[in-house]
Amino acid sequence: MTKKYFGTDGIRGRVGTAPITPDFMLKLGWAAGKVFEEQGHCQVVIGKDTRRSGYMFEAALEAGLVAAGADVYMLGPMPTPGIAYLTRTLRAQVGIVISASHNPHYDNGIKFFSSEGEKLPDELELAIEKKLGEPLTVVDSEKLGKAMRVQDAASRYIEFCKSSMSPSVSLKGLKLVVDCAQGATYHVAPMVFEGLGAEVIKIGVNPDGLNINDGFGATKPGALQQAVTAHKAGLGVALDGDGDRLIMVNDKGAIIDGDEILYILAKARSQAGALGSVVVGTQMTNLGIELALQDAGIELKRSAVGDRHVIALMQKTGAILGGEGSGHIICGDRTTTGDGIIAALQVLEEMQLRGASLADLIKGVQKYPQCMINVKLLSEQSFSMNEAIESAVKKTEQQLGSRGRVLLRPSGTEPLVRVMIEGEDLPLVESLTKQLSDVVKENLAS
């Protein structure tokens, strides 16, 4: 079976447009409740980011779950990784996140976590979709679920984050800027860093339900760069709307992206003898990072794009560390999913242990220029390689040699093929990307 609603990261779309509507969320809550109730009495935790529409969908999901006989524990605004953590520690069978991550306020979505704090396996998502096709029924009154709020959800997660750092390490004497994207970390992230001794300048911490990710956060780090230099801070930390992405800024205002953070953490764990020999990136991980990791004796394995795929390859290879350039960093020795706060703490711990700046930790890393052109597909058209495209790719790879890379990747969310080339020589990379994208266009039209 193919999925109708679930994508690579749950169900997401524009509020008010199917399936992101109250009636669908009511039915989705009921369907999920019925599927998990078949395995025994079900307890569900629900958390959300700061979008105004989250209140509407929280109420609808709660009603559907209770109608199916499931008990519901509502966390209020909480980062996605915090919901994963509380799903495990509250011994719930499933966790539900109401968020569209880094998207604008007019989008929203639903993600599920298993009792282990991991993404649901495909068979459970398919079972929920199948149940959506059945008529909604209500259990007998005495079997209805209960709904309650977890009053100490934030403090539980804050203490968990703090415990991910070595107790011998303090952040005293460190001034940092924390940008919470007007999102789900606004009330917890500053308290974590302050609780470990840092002087914290807070930005993006005044959500109004409509300003999430608007000019702040990991996808728009300009505000963080300005604040770091204006306050003469040692560094800056930018999270996205639901707190599972991290982008950092050094004391000069330069951006340190997810690829570079992955390198810092991989090298630190390798030197401590706590890594193994493999880390997981994606098809988009910069070739310069791969080569720098090789120089440190670390092999990079590449998954498809998306933290779900990164985690799956980590589990397959036994890697404890994985991530994406966008800032999803999974510290598998600390938690089960991408967590921006915990990843930042691991970097800060390395800085404090070595007495080094953020810039010091990436010395010697030379990221390669990347160029990408999106080629639009026709409606209902799927992308497949043909002889002409394959020949053009081989010719491009020969021109780049061993110090370059070609990637053709259909988008998972839009009717596009992404033509990406990276190499040492930016003018050559730009020229080759244009040539190859033209070949792809010509052969899609034929």
Encoded tokens for 182? 């007007």
Residue located via tokens 């966008």: 326
Contact 241, 101 (CB under 8 A): yes
Q: Is 404 helix (H, G, I), strand (E, B) or coil?
A: strand
Where do the H-state alpha helices sit in 257-414? 258-271, 287-295, 307-317, 340-354, 358-361, 387-400
Can you tell me the distance from the alpha carbon of 228 to that of 176, in angstroms, rounded to the nearest whole number? 7
How would you class 301 by CB atoms within 10 Å of its CB: exposed for 0-12, middle for 13-18, buried for 19 or more? middle
Largest CA distance in the chain: 72
Q: Which token pair is 57?
A: 């969908």
Task: Determine which one of 53, 101, 114, 437 is catalytic.
Answer: 101
Give the residue among 85, 150, 119 at the shortest CA–CA distance from 7.
119
Q: For residue 287, how many other CB atoms are within 10 A of its CB?
A: 22
Q: How far apart are the first and last CA of the chain?
A: 31
Clarify whether 101 is annotated catalytic.
Answer: yes
- CB 28 within 8 Å of CB 132: yes
Query: What are the residues whose beta carbons fall under 8 Å from the beta carbon of 336, sequence distance 6 or more?
Result: 84, 85, 88, 116, 117, 118
Q: Which two tokens stand for residue 7?
A: 């994508």
Contact 290, 281 (CB under 8 A): yes
DSSP 197-213: T-EEEEES----SS-TT
Residue with tokens 């096709």: 133
- Number of helices (H), then strands (E), belonging to the chain: the values are 14, 18
Cα 73 from chain centre: 24
Residue pointed to by tokens 């989705």: 28
Q: How far apart are CA 88 and CA 80, in angstroms?
A: 13
Which residues are marked as active site?
101
